Amino acid sequence: MSIKKKILIATLILLIIVTFIGVVHYFYEIITWKNNTEENNKIKEEIENNITINTYESEEETQEEKAVKYDIDFKKLKEKNKDTIGFLKVNNTNIEYVFVKGKDNNYYLNHNFDKKSNIAGWIFADYHNKFDGTDKNIVIYGHNVKDLSMFGSLKNILSKDWYNNKDNQKIVVVTENGTYYYQVFSIYSIKPENYYINTEFKNNDEFYNFLRRIKSRSVYKSDVGISGEDKILTLSSCTNDGNKRIVLHAKLIESE
């Protein structure tokens, strides 16, 4: 057999081996994602047993909305995970999660609420946030998971139909300190950057300039007023291709 034929056969065998390894790796990732997301969905279901959602009929005939109260057993949740911070709900998405905060912004990218290794991660707040009432920009992250768990359904916010639904404009965050309602004022997608997740500002003027810039990015015009004295909530996730971030900003309008 000639040297050229030997080289050709060796090359073909190498290509077959590489292709086989690639196929095995692909299916391994699919199975891992499936198992990890199923595990997280079970954890979410268990957590929901610690959350009581009470809906009260409005006494005013002119008021269409019903008052919703969340009773969350944070003590019990913290016994399971001391990193527990709060509960987040975004209407007309699958985002209805207890969220945590780690010592950095890496741990919960690949660990779930039970602190087990999990490529779907968990919903977590930026470790710079204090949750003591002084945060100007509370930032919460979650993976864009294909089964629409975690922040997989955050992409809904880019839809005009979602944005035009007034029920979707109010985001709920519950912590041990109270229940907080945020009004959406900016929605967009952008290449990865650190600007919009900034949590520290020198003064109100610097923060106001920050608010003006992130509001100007919105794909939908908002009439929500902003000022340097405001406090906001930021939600962030990847797009399907991972090359951009889906971002929502909402202004604190009420707490109880």
Domain annotation covers residue 132: yes
Residue with tokens 């003064």: 203
The answer to whether the Cα torsion of 129, 134, 136, 142 is positive or negative is positive
pLDDT 10s digits, 152-194? 999 999 999 999 998 899 999 999 999 999 999 999 999 999 9
Q: Is the dihedral of CA 137, 86, 222, 253 positive or negative?
A: negative
Asked if the structure places residue 4 within a domain, the reply is no
Look at residue 164 and give its three-state secondary structure.
helix
Residue 150 lies in a domain: yes
The pair of three-digit structure tokens given for residue 74, joined into one six-digit string: 């944070």
Q: Answer left, alpha or beta for residue 150, where phi above 0 means left and psi between -120 and 50 means alpha.
A: left
221 lies in which domain range?
44-255
Once rounded to an integer, what is the mean pLDDT over residues 225-243?
Answer: 91
Q: What confidence score (pLDDT) does residue 149 get?
A: 86
How far is the C-alpha of 22 from the C-alpha of 108, rounded, in Å? Answer: 27
Question: Rounded CA gap, 17 and 22, in Å?
Answer: 9
Residue 43, pLDDT score: 87
Is 14 a domain residue? Answer: no
pLDDT of residue 30: 61
Q: Are strands 170-175 and 178-190 parallel, antiparallel or unpaired?
A: antiparallel
| 35 part of a folded domain | no
- Give mean pLDDT, residues 87-96: 94
Per-residue pLDDT for 104 more than 90? yes
Q: Give me the CATH number covering residue 154.
A: 2.40.260.10
Position 70 scores a pLDDT of 82
Is the predicted pLDDT of residue 7 greater than 90, yes or no? no
**Residue 61 per-residue DSSP state:** T
- The count of domains in the chain is 1
| Measured distance CA(89)–CA(194) in Å, rounded | 24
> What letter does residue 99 receive in the DSSP assignment?
E
Lowest mean per-residue pLDDT among 2-6, 119-123, 152-156, 218-222: 2-6
pLDDT in tens, 109-157: 999 999 999 988 999 999 999 999 999 999 999 999 888 888 999 999 9
pLDDT of residue 112: 95
CA end-to-end distance (rounded Å), the chain = 83
Containing H/E element for 26?
helix 3-48
- Integer Cα distance of 246 and 157 in angstroms: 9
What is the three-class DSSP state of 51?
Answer: strand
Bridge-based pairing of strands 84-89 and 96-100 is: antiparallel
- Nearest CA-CA partner of 119 in 22, 239, 32: 32
Higher pLDDT, 57 or 93: 93
**Is 139 within a domain?**
yes
pLDDT one-digit tens code per residue, 15-68: 666 665 655 445 445 666 567 778 888 888 888 877 776 655 555 544 445 567
